[in-house]
Chains A and B, each alone.
Chain A
Amino acid sequence: MTGPTANLLITGARLIDPATGTDAIGDLAISDGLVVADAPAGAERIDGRGLVVTPGFCDLHAHLRQPGRDGAETIESGCRAAARGGFTTICAMPNTDPAIDSAEAVSRAVAAGAGGACRVRIIGAASVRRAGREMADLAAMAAAGAVAVSDDGCAVSGAMARETFERVAAAGLLLIEHAEDPSLVAGGVMRAGPTAVRLGLPGWPPAAELTTVERDLALAGTTRARLHLTHLSCAASIEAVRGARARGVAVTCDVTPHHLSMADDWVAGSRRFAWDEERAPDPALAFDGRCRVNPPLASRADALALLAAVADGTIDSIATDHAPHPVERKLAPFASAAPGLIGLETALSLGLAAVEAGRLALPALVAAMSTRPAAIIGEARSLAVGATADIVAFDPAARWRVDATTLESASSNTPLLGMELPGVVRLTVGDGRITYRS
């Protein structure tokens, strides 16, 4: 990571460190890459009153479009967006063009990801070209530095699933699964339910996710592979995870910021959060391609269940599934718009909106964005003296307007454009370097 070395003393901030169970007003000093007990002479003093200081955020699921579609995002712009969002680590999915599906490709990606405003960890593809027909060399990719494997965009194909889980277990790897059965999706483009019926759009049934979740949990149980289920969008999937854990299956999971805050009524033109009172949708905002995402935005009940599962700790992590697309790929009829939305710069704000609404405690949000995802990929995070200086300081009460011209991301595909959200990052320090400051 690049940036000026941080020699800082932040005073009077609310320090939240899930690693130590800290939540108190205090000072934090950083020097020479570490959290220290006393600030060195000449350290910059930052008045931290009103700020929250926490371990730096870790995103288990981001798409950087380089190589192949670097008009939508480059590693450099994606890292700047991450730093602005408070992230000090992002895990890059392998669905670039070409895909990251070999040890050589992982090595190249690791090298390309160094030197930006955020630590980039590389996820290797589970199958060659992510085509689901031939297994990639998982052990070699791990040796080259891959932090996990995934065929994200798809689940591991049925034909390869058992062998993939066995090899993941043998190599001590982590498998990140996009749980979705395309045969059950059958052309669905938004969550099946009353809103899809009213809009005349083909529905995407929760069973498409749940059946793959159940398959993966069964395979993880028998093979002892480490499984991480990403962007879960159904309450039933959460129940399945709870049940598997009760049987001793090692599984972790994440949810995106959009699935726990926006529901399928956004496709009909609503712009209320899942916890807000019902409001009449604006027909002019209906069918906005920027609300098209896979898995699709959930029912309101499921969104609230996902949020409750973050609050009670069942869901380990909030991961962005940051998916940049150029404007023209979203300026299409809803069903033809490219799925996915950007999330690195708005993740904290959506979490804080849930906190403001009383749906989530701030320490639980912090844990789901920092220490818990970091632990899944073996990274430590702490504010304790002696820890690596990986921190974020943000003002939870400050407001900002989501504006395409000021986003650090090279893309602006989010339905949040124009909305005012809480939470402004003031300072991000990764590995002792200042990677973002406002």
Chain B
Amino acid sequence: MTVAVTPRTWPSGHLFDLAGAARGQIEGLLDLAVEMREARAARRHASMLEAEIVALAFFEASTRTRISFELAGRALGATVVDLDVAGSSVAKGESLVDTLRTLERMGTTTLVLRHQEPGAPQLAARATGMRIVNAGDGAHAHPTQALSDALTLREAIGPLDGRVVAIVGDVVHSRVARSNIHCLTGLGARVRVGGPPEWVAGFDGWPAVEVTTTLEATLRGADAVMALRAQLERGAELPEDRLAWRLDSDRMRLAAPGAPILHPGPTNEGVELTAELASAPGSLIGRQVANGVPIRMAVLARLAGMA
């Protein structure tokens, strides 16, 4: 018997990253998210994951990602538990592997993991039998954020083939940037990254990524612009010329007419972009957040093999 790999399955059973994902796989998740958004509004699929226990283990702070995974799991009928890291045995020095094995022993079927160290999700998959969803690992990957961004962009500007997406700011510390590069190039877009030299260091060696060193070159003709937060907790320092890279409505005129602004949040208003731009009509920041729930519904359902 042969089992065809269709967009209705996800190859590894885990979502570590979008590197190497086939275009059909990514598009399949985006399409499923659209369906999930309608289903959620109509309260359909409310028991789709009733056999699932989803544990949220967030070893780094989060508002959007954690809450949207919780809402996504609940919307599909899963039991959702949240490991309160500060109040757990982690605070007593329990190792990551021991903590995750404890969650597994209590029946967790899907682990949504955020951790400060790159590769923590792969470790979780090696050490336990749970299905793993990466909710952000250090500077490495944040695939569900990239999927939300891709869905938001697709709905705002149409198919991404050949479109230029400019990512501006602290790229080097950003897992969002890395996952967006994989996701957007996987969907046929061209990705340009720009920032002060220390914020784009090393990205010139990344195939299919164009590195630009002035804001003008980064923005010129871009079909969409994504601003990134300075990751001060990962050792980023604000560069002296940061004002030269701050986005505002005037500077956005360098981009293609009507090009939207995105930001994965939380924003440092006045640092990477102005408050005025963040709330301007062309801002997709609110929609990125709203799309986070159906995207995470799609991911949970697809990994469980239920949709």
Contacts and interface: CB of A to CB of B under 8 A. Distances in A.
Q: Do the two chains belong together in a single complex? A: yes
Interface of A: 192-194, 196-201, 203, 280-281, 283-289, 328, 331-336
A332 B202 contact: no
Contact of A333 (B120, B141, B205, B206): B120
A334 B137 CA distance: 11
A349 B137 CA distance: 35
A428 to B, nearest CB: 34
A297 B1 CA distance: 41
Contacts of B172: 197
Contact of B140 (A194, A201, A284): A201
A287 B117 CA distance: 10
Contacts of B14: 284
Contacts of B139: 200-201
Contacts of A289: 123
A200 B201 CA distance: 12
Closest 9 CB pairs of A and B: A287-B119, A200-B139, A333-B117, A200-B140, A197-B202, A194-B205, A334-B119, A287-B122, A200-B118
Given A194-B205, A200-B138, A200-B141, A284 B122 contact: yes
A199 to B, nearest CB: 6
A194 B206 contact: yes
Interface in B126-142: 126-127, 137-141
A198 B140 CA distance: 7
Contact of B16 (A198, A284, A333): A284
B97 A283 contact: no
Contacts of B206: 194, 197-198
Interface of B: 12, 14, 16-17, 19-20, 95-97, 115, 117-120, 122-123, 125-127, 137-141, 172, 175, 178, 201-203, 205-206
A331 B127 CA distance: 7
B178 A333 contact: no
A384 B205 CA distance: 53
B136 to A, nearest CB: 11
B175 A287 contact: no
Given A283-B20, A331-B97, A335-B117, A198 B178 contact: yes
B140 A283 contact: no
Contact of B17 (A194, A196, A283, A285): A283
Looking at A193, A196, A203, A332, which has the most chain B CB atoms within 10 Å of its CB? A332
B203 A333 contact: no
Contacts of B115: 333
Contacts of B117: 333-336
26 contacts: A193-B205, A197-B202, A198-B178, A198-B206, A199-B140, A200-B118, A200-B140, A200-B141, A200-B178, A283-B12, A283-B19, A284-B12, A284-B14, A284-B16, A284-B122, A287-B118, A328-B95, A328-B97, A332-B95, A332-B96, A332-B97, A333-B115, A333-B120, A333-B123, A334-B119, A334-B123
Given A283-B19, A331-B127, A333-B119, 4 more contacts: A287-B118, A333-B96, A334-B123, A336-B117
A194 B16 contact: no
Contacts of B137: 200
B203 A283 contact: no
Contacts of A286: 16, 119, 122
A331 B175 CA distance: 23
A193 B204 CA distance: 11
Looking at B19, B20, B127, B139, which has the most chain A CB atoms within 10 Å of its CB? B19
Contacts of A203: 202
A283 to B, nearest CB: 5
Contacts of B20: 280-281, 283
Nearest to B203: A197
Contacts of A200: 118, 137-141, 175, 178
B86 to A, nearest CB: 19
Nearest to A287: B119
